[in-house]
Amino acid sequence: MLTYAQLTSDDAHRDFSRSGPEPCPTAGAGPILEPAEPVRYRLCRSVVPDGPPRTPGCIVIPTFDVDGPERQRQIISVIAGPEDAEPEAVPGLISAHVHISTDGTRVLNYAEWTDEDAHRHMVGGIPTDHQAERKAQITTGTPGVRFTGYKRYHLHHSLTRGL
Residue 63: band (very low, low, confident or very high) from pLDDT cuts 50, 70, 90:
very high
Determine the Cα–Cα distance for residues 129 and 138; give it in Å rounded to an integer: 14
Residue 58: band (very low, low, confident or very high) from pLDDT cuts 50, 70, 90:
very high
Residues 106, 41 contacting (CB under 8 angstroms): yes
Q: Hey, is 135 helix, strand or coil?
A: helix
Going along the chain from its start, the domains and CATH numbers come out as: 42-153 (3.30.70.100)
First to last CA, the chain: 28
Q: Hey, is 56 helix, strand or coil?
A: coil
Task: Output the pLDDT for position 22.
Answer: 57
Q: What is the pLDDT of residues 14-26, one digit of tens each?
A: 787 777 555 555 5
Residues 61, 151 contacting (CB under 8 angstroms): yes
- The helix, strand and coil proportions of the chain, stated in percent and rounded to the nearest 5, come to 25, 25, 50
pTM, 2 dp: 0.76
Determine the Cα–Cα distance for residues 21 and 123; give it in Å rounded to an integer: 34
User: At residue 62, does pLDDT exceed 80?
Assistant: yes
Determine the Cα–Cα distance for residues 135 and 120; give it in Å rounded to an integer: 14
Q: Which residues of 117-134 are buried (b: 16+ CB within 10 A; e: fewer)?
A: ebbeebeeeeeeeeeeeb
Q: What is the pLDDT of residues 115-157, one digit of tens each?
A: 999 998 888 876 556 555 665 666 667 789 999 999 999 877 6
